[in-house]
Structures are given as C-alpha cells and as structure tokens.
Structure 1
Amino acid sequence: MTTDDLTVSTRVVLLAGGVGGSTFAGGLRDEVRERGGELTVVCNTGDDLWLSGLRLQPDVDSMLYSLAGVKDLRQGWGRAGDSRRVADELAAWGVGWDWFLLGDLDLGAHIARTSWLREGLTPSQAIARLQTRWDLGATLLPMTDTEVDTHVVLDSGRMHFQEWWTRHRARLEPVRFENPGIAASVPAPGVLEAIAGADAILVAPSNPVVSIGPILAVPGLADGLRAASARVVGVSPIIGDAPVRGMADVCLRVAGVPCTAAGVAGHYGARADGGILDAWLIAEEDAAAAASVAALGIASHVEPLWMSDAVRTRALAVAALRAVGH
C-alpha cells in the first residue's frame, strides 16, 4: 500500500502517548481524514492517577485536546486559554499536589470522567463520551480498562510516575518502572479488533519505555501486533542521539536501551524476529544508523522528523504511511 492507495476503507491504527504522540496524531488525522480513511488511536493509560478524588488520564486528555484543536501549544499539554482559580483554591486548602497544577477547563474533563466512572461506566465508555464533544476525526481507545498506573521504583522507595516526572523532573535515579496489575489486565474493548482489521499500524514517536512500553505490556496486545496482516511502522523519538522532548534518555538508560535511533529500534525488535516492527523512520541526522537498523531485520527510512509546525508534522505522517507500502 502507498499513500495514493488510501480509500474510504483504509483503517489506520496508531499506538501513542505523551506530547510527541499527540502532536504526530494531529498530522496523521489530517492526512487520513482527507483521504477518506479511518484513524483509531490506542492511548497509553500508564500515566493515569487518582488526585484530589478525581481520575486523571494525562495521555488520553493530551490526545483529546490535540485532535480537538484546543490544546495549549505553548506548554504542550492542557487546554489553551485555561485559568487556574480552582487549582489555587485547592492549594489553599492543602488538597492535591501544588506542583501539579490543573487548569479549570481541564478539571472539568476530570470531573466529568470521574462522575461517569462513579456511575458505573468503564474508562472506555467514559472516553467515548468525552470525545463526542468535538469532531476529532479519530476514535480514541485506552490500552486497557484496568488501572495500571506507572510507579517508579527508587533505592529509597517508590512514587507515582507523575511525581517523578513532573515534580522531580526525572532527577531521581530510578531502579525500574512498574505497572502494578498489568499482568492481569486485558486490552480495552475494540483494541485487538482495530489492530486485526487495520490496513496500517503506526507507532508514534512517544517515549518507548513509559508511553509505548505499557501499551505493549498489556497481555495479548503485542501478540495482536505480531499477528496483524498490516505492516507495523514506527517513528523514532530520538534525533541525533537525544530525545526530542522530555527525559526519555533516563527511561531508556534504566531499561538498558541505548539512546539512539537504532537502539530504540532494537528495543522494539523486528516482527520477523519476535518483535513488533516491520519498518522504522529515522531522522536525517541519524542517517548513518540506517544500516544498523536494517541489520536488525527492520526496513529503515530516513526522513525529516522534526514536528516543528503543522506542515512538517503532516509530511511526517505521509512518510510513515508511505513506509507501510515498502
């Protein structure tokens, strides 16, 4: 399949989490929708947490706001033009984390979600309701309906991933990352069906360890990717041996993965060798790594990977879809 083959029957599945994933999803949505296709995004829920009595789903909401066109592009997360009167009031009462500020509009989404969960809806059903507010041009699915929040294990104890990432900015050296309960989880309704019926499966340039890692750790999900008839194409989150955003280098070091385009490709592995990838997009700055990627049994494609504006982001999405056919 090439991008020119996209028709109304073309079904694209994207595995994604974090800022990079939501940014890439916007360009991909625009390309797929223009060509009459269907996009399903399987979102990481390992970042989820309970805070101030509310269920937060940071990666899901980042994807929701990005596709809705209401994300705060300056900070990369949350709602554009938001205020923080409620957060300030909660801080005055000593409730929640004063370093984890949530905007008023963002809190509205968290309150709505929590209300529906308290009424008996599953996370999948709550997310389905949230996304009806806007014309997203995509269907959002959580990786699982099971609560599998990411914990960071340190020599001194453990903490929630959000505290380690947001408060401490990954400066505390972790021993490992865990998702308690994930071994007993199952893919959310519709996830395996979307993968099995896809014409193209893409892995976003998200953090390989804490964004894509939890998705692949849900029992049956990686097997579904390996059994899919569609080719699986990933986009490197590493450019010039450095993460594009965030502290992914710390996460990779803990996982024993080199912070290079080829290193992450090897981490995912070739589908022909028990991994998940058929092809891997690497940056022009990392063109010298193409041979190393190919040696893994993964087709390498050298492309401009910087998503510095909507035009470049969409061009990257086109390149990823093109790689599905090669």
Structure 2
Amino acid sequence: MSKGNFELLCLENPLLDIQGVGDASLLGKYGLKPNDAILAEQKHMGLYEDLLQNHDAKLIAGGAAQNTARGAQYMLPPDSVIYIGCVGKDKYAETLQEACAKAGLRVEYRYDEEQPTGRCGVVITGHDRSMCTDLAAANCYKIDHLKQPEIWSLVEQAKVFYVGGYHLTVCVPAVMALAEEAAAKDKACSYQQRRIFILSLSAPFIPQFFKDQLDQTSPYWDYVIGNETEALSYAEGHNINTKSIPEIAKAMASIPKKNTKRKRTVIITQGTDATVVAVEGESEVKQFPVPAIGTDKINDTNGAGDAFAGGFVAGIVMGKPLETCVGMGQWLAKLSIQELGPSYPFPKQTYA
C-alpha cells in the first residue's frame, strides 16, 4: 500500500479509558447518568480505582479525537494521521503511545512535568455508557507546543484539521490557530493546497457551558459533526426554537462563515436513526439511513460517534463525495460497536 503524507492532523485531549460494566447503584454512588459525558469533580475521584478494583475494568486508549484519529488511520494509507495533545510522564502515557503505534497513528504529545496522564472512567450499563473525565495533564496543553517549528511544520503540511470540542475547555488559542490557518490557506492557495477545518461538538455540555469558546470557532467550521443530544443542546443555547434535528442542522449550516469559498456542512448522527446532513445554502436536508445491525452483535457503543467521525473524516481526506463519506462513517461505527471500547477489528477490514 502506498504511504500517506500526514494529510490529517487531529487535536484534543489524550485520555486513558478505564472501562468497566456497572449498574444503577454504581452510577448512583457517583451521581452519574446512564448516557452522559461530564468532567470529574472531587466527588468522582474514587470512581477510577473502584472500576479497576471491583468491576474488572479494561484500560483502553481513549480521548474522543484520539479515537477518531485511530479510526481515520484504520481506513487511510500508513502515515496519514498525526494526533496532538498533552500527557503526563508516566506508565499510562506509555500505554497510550503503544496503542497508537499499534494502530499506525503518529502522536506528537506535549509531556507535562507535574500532572499525570488524563483518564476517563467509563461505566457500561447495557448499551449505555457514562463517561467521567479527569483531564489532569490533558488540561495542560499549551499553544507553545503547537507553535514549535517542528510541530507547526506538520500543521503546514496537513490538508485537514480535526478538532474535538472537548479541547475548548483546555486551549482555545490552539484551536483558533488551526482554524485561522485553514481559512487563510483556503483563500490563498490553489484547490490542491486548500485546508479544511472540522470540529466535533463532542458533548452536550460544550454548547451549554462553553458557548463563548464554541462560538469563536463557528465562523471557521467547514464541517461540524455532532449527535442529536449535542444538536439539541446547541439549539437551546443559541435560540434555535425547534427540536427538529434537520431544522437545527440547517440553522447551524447558515451561520456566517469566514471562508466563503467553501460551503459549510453539518452532520448530525442519531444512533440507529438516519444521519442528518445539511449543506449551507441548500434547502433540502439529506438523511442517510443507518445500516441495520442485530442487537446480539452490539458489544459496546462507547466510541461509536468517534468511529463515525473517523470514517467520515477519512473520506474527506480521500476527496470522496459527501454520500460516500457518510457511508464510510457509518461502516466504521458499525465495526466499532462490535468491539470492546472505541476499537477497530484486526486484521483490518476494507470498506467497499
């Protein structure tokens, strides 16, 4: 297989997922909801050891955009994807690096001297998953790392930037540096040299509690990806007075855009319901049915949205039509939910 040239660069919060099967009493013990994603408070700090000691927890390379980066690399030629974030100098960082190397993903971590590698407690209850994240070192990413000549040269080399919305809680200047680089290059360069900026909404609390940070990025979105609960949260915080997912997607597509050469595309997943896609300026909102999968084949839905984003973004990197990109995302998500955690099957399967 021919090699890539690190066309895709991803930025967010590298985490070690500590994932175990729990029940309502475990959720109640730590004040968690069955299908949610939150940042840890002091009352949650016992969860991680609890999962390891009492719930046969597995350690899995996590962090939403790191999952997406591994998924995109799964579908792209070797040496196509770089992932950037901040970890501690500890054994958990080594675990992450080993998992990424196995997946063929190049990482360029910033190593924090004081904080340990971030972790995410994942409580699986049936087909639901509750995620509780202690960012630790992931919260210490600095734009100085991104601006180092050897790292910035990778930024300049990439064609597509993918940023997880969780990073808006960490280092907005780094997100904006990528957004502005994409818009500037897209205006100035030939079609082959243009840059694309993609943002994931990541979780309902991002549009709810980090609205200002999110709104800084919105004029730069070439593509924005979210699920239905994130879309509803966005609508509530932005006076979009409807609960219709197609209408919300259409409203998001029409936000004023910095780079007017490229129309914005909004992609909203809805689990097993159709994926909704709205394109700026188009009256029709497209809906793509999700291929059925038997419930007996579903092992773990944790990371399904990250997997969809991985397949979709891989399609964008390859220059595929929008319909194919959605199909690639749905296909990779279908593979992922049959694995444990945000993982992909080996030997590699090929999208057809």
**TM-score grouping bracket, smaller chain normalisation:** 0.3 to 0.5
Structure 2 length-normalised TM: 0.43
Larger relative CO (CA 8 A, sep 6+): 1 or 2? 1
Q: TM-score by structure 1 length?
A: 0.46
The answer to which structure has the higher strand fraction is 2
